[in-house]
């Protein structure tokens, strides 16, 4: 029961026992929860220094009701026992630093690399607690900024299309006319074209289906700025996917940065500023091609475990069981 994320509700279903009663018995008598050495502070933080390794991931996750926890994991644990190093309530840097500082300094100095997002608090935590570690900005966080900017342009056009259709409909009503929106060759109206193009803009062109290719041809014909923004976003993805060395990546990202600056897209201004501010740590990706994928996978495991428990009602006990499985 400690080794697998099985809920009392599952046992109730398969073995016809009172799940709530069994869960309470496990908590009070069958497990060692009552004598757990981290019980008193578990809802605030839990720490397992013995699980630390040279390559770590730092991220945040939500347990329930949107409450965030900062999570430090060991990549070499591969999502199994030995993966979880620390879970600390909140994302405030000083609080996280105070907990991680309980790990002996010699142990912390052996950490070689940590992947993280672009939050200033995460940067501060790593620099204070793991001074010898290389910081690697997760490539997917950088790419997500580009995709968000692309979708912002699409959404702006969609609102224009909605307003245009609403006004045309109202004018037709005032003139006692039947309103028929213009449809493209694939049967989409302008509003539908922009709505249905959302997901294809996340995909590489070679992965578009026949119908998606037809739709995107119409979309880019109607909105040249979307075409330009899409290829800027796609070229960023290709830099991360196919560039092998940091020196070449530096040159390619510099060119991409210039293209962004010259594009005139307001929605891409944030990307330019972000890349400029985090350039060294973004480039560190090309040393070992490290990402925060292991942290995202671990967050998914937490969410899956939470779903088996039908939510989190007792945070300390939930973290106790989580530690049994992953720490």
Q: Is residue 188 part of a domain?
A: yes
For residue range 33-64, list pLDDT tens digits in order. 888 889 899 889 999 999 999 999 999 988 77
The per-residue pLDDT for 258 is 86
What are the φ/ψ torsions at residue 83 (nearest 5 degrees)?
Answer: -80, -45
Give yes or no: residues 55 and 119 share one domain. Answer: yes
Contact 305, 63 (CB under 8 A): no
The per-residue pLDDT for 101 is 95
Give yes or no: residues 192 and 117 share one domain. Answer: no
DSSP 3-state percent helix, strand, coil across the chain (nearest 5)? 60, 10, 25
Query: Worst-scoring range by mean pLDDT, 202-206, 229-233, 281-285, 304-308?
Result: 304-308
Q: Which residue reads 């245009």 in tokens? A: 164
Give yes or no: residues 148 and 242 share one domain. Answer: yes
Contacts 24+ apart (CB under 8 A), 295-301: 295/57, 295/58, 295/59, 295/71, 295/73, 295/115, 296/59, 297/79, 298/57, 298/59, 298/61, 298/71, 298/73, 298/79, 298/83, 298/84, 298/326, 299/59, 299/61, 299/71, 301/79, 301/326
Asked if residue 15 has pLDDT above 60, the reply is no
Full domain range(s) for residue 131: 32-138+291-326
**Closest-CA residue to 122 (of 79, 75, 47, 72):** 72
Contact 111, 133 (CB under 8 A): yes
Which one of 8-17, 28-37, 78-87, 300-309 scores highest in mean pLDDT?
A: 78-87
In this prediction, residue 306 has a pLDDT band, given cuts at 50, 70 and 90, of: confident
Q: Is residue 14 part of a domain?
A: no
Give yes or no: residues 236 and 187 share one domain. Answer: yes
The per-residue pLDDT for 62 is 83
Contact 72, 85 (CB under 8 A): yes
Give yes or no: residues 159 and 259 share one domain. Answer: yes
Q: Is residue 75 part of a domain?
A: yes
The per-residue pLDDT for 134 is 95
Give yes or no: residues 278 and 144 share one domain. Answer: yes
Give yes or no: residues 253 and 126 share one domain. Answer: no
Which one of 11-20, 135-144, 307-316 scores highest in mean pLDDT?
A: 135-144
Neighbours of 82 (CB within 10 A): 18
Look up the pTM and report it.
Answer: 0.82
Asked if residue 4 has pLDDT above 90, the reply is no
Give yes or no: residues 200 and 126 share one domain. Answer: no
What are the φ/ψ torsions at residue 73 (nearest 5 degrees)?
Answer: -130, 155
Give yes or no: residues 181 and 257 share one domain. Answer: yes
- Structure tokens of 120? 């200033």
Helix boundaries (H) for 264-311 = 269-283, 285-288, 293-308
Average confidence (pLDDT) over 202-219: 94
In this prediction, residue 1 has a pLDDT band, given cuts at 50, 70 and 90, of: very low
The per-residue pLDDT for 271 is 80
Secondary structure class of 68 (helix, strand, coil): strand
Q: Is residue 6 part of a domain?
A: no
CATH number of the domain enclosing 310 = 3.30.420
For residue range 97-139, list pLDDT tens digits in order. 999 999 999 999 999 999 998 888 999 999 999 999 999 999 8
Q: Is residue 280 part of a domain?
A: yes
Q: Is residue 12 part of a domain?
A: no
Return the percentage of the chain with pLDDT > 70, whole number: 90
Q: Is residue 1 part of a domain?
A: no
For residue range 150-201, list pLDDT tens digits in order. 999 999 999 999 999 999 988 988 888 888 888 999 999 999 999 999 999 9
Give yes or no: residues 260 and 303 share one domain. Answer: no
| Total of domains in the chain | 2
Give yes or no: residues 154 and 130 share one domain. Answer: no
Q: Is residue 258 part of a domain?
A: yes
Give yes or no: residues 73 and 86 share one domain. Answer: yes
The per-residue pLDDT for 210 is 94
In this prediction, residue 213 has a pLDDT band, given cuts at 50, 70 and 90, of: very high
């Amino acid at each position: 029961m400690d080794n697998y994320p099985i809920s009392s509700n599952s046992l109730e279903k398969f073995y016809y026992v009172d799940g709530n009663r069994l869960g309470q018995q496990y908590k009070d008598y069958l497990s060692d929860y009552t004598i757990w050495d981290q019980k008193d502070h578990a809802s605030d933080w839990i720490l397992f220094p013995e699980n630390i390794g040279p390559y770590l991931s730092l991220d945040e996750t939500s347990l329930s009701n949107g409450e965030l926890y900062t999570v430090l994991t060991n990549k070499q644990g591969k999502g199994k026992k030995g993966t979880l190093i620390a879970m600390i309530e909140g994302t405030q840097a000083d609080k996280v630093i105070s907990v991680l500082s309980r790990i002996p300094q010699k142990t912390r100095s052996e950490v070689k690399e940590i992947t993280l997002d672009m939050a200033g608090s995460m940067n501060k935590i790593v620099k204070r607690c793991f001074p010898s570690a290389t910081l690697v900005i997760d490539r997917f966080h950088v790419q997500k900024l580009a995709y968000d900017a692309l979708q912002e342009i699409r959404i702006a056009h969609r609102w224009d299309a909605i307003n245009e259709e609403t006004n045309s409909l109202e004018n037709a009503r005032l003139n006692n006319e039947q309103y028929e929106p213009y449809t493209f060759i694939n049967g989409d109206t302008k509003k539908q074209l922009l709505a249905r193009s959302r997901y294809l803009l996340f995909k590489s062109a070679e992965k578009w289906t026949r119908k998606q290719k037809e739709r995107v041809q119409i979309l880019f014909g109607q909105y040249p700025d979307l075409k330009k923004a899409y290829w800027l976003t796609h070229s960023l993805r290709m830099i991360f996917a196919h560039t092998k060395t940091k020196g070449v990546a530096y040159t390619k990202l510099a060119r991409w940065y210039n293209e962004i600056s010259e594009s005139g897209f307001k929605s891409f201004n944030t990307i330019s500023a972000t890349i400029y501010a985090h350039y060294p740590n973004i480039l560190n990706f090309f040393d070992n091609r490290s990402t925060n994928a292991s942290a995202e996978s671990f967050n998914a495991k937490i969410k899956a475990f939470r779903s088996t428990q039908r939510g989190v009602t007792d945070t300390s006990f939930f973290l106790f069981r989580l530690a049994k499985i992953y720490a």
